[in-house]
Amino acid sequence: MTLAAAAAHPGFLSPTGIEIAFVLVGIATLGAALITVTTKQLVHAALWLVVALGGLAVEYLLLTAEFIAWVQVLIYVGSVVVLLLFGLMLTKAPIGRSPDADSENRWAALAVAVAAAATLVWVVVDAFRATWIDLDGPAHGSTEATGAFLFRHWVLPFEALSVLLLAALVGAIVLSRKRSKEQS
Q: Could you read off the pLDDT tens digit of each residue along the chain, which spans 184 residues?
A: 455 555 556 566 678 888 899 999 999 999 999 998 888 787 888 889 999 999 999 999 998 888 888 888 888 888 877 777 777 777 766 666 666 666 677 788 888 989 999 999 999 888 888 777 666 655 666 677 777 777 788 888 878 888 888 888 788 778 777 666 666 6
- Provide the 3-class DSSP secondary structure of residue 76: helix
Q: Residue 40: phi, psi to the nearest 5?
A: -100, 0
Q: What is the pTM of this model?
A: 0.61
Which of 108, 55, 104 is CA-nearest to residue 77?
A: 55
- Residue 58 and residue 25 in contact, taking contact as beta carbons nearer than 8 Å: yes
Long-range contacts of 119-128 (CB under 8 A, 24+ apart): none
> What sign for the dihedral angle of Cα 26, 28, 29, 34?
positive
| Number of Cβ atoms within 10 Å of the Cβ of 32 | 19
Query: Which stretches of the chain are DSSP H helices?
Result: 3-8, 17-38, 42-62, 66-71, 81-90, 106-127, 143-153, 155-183
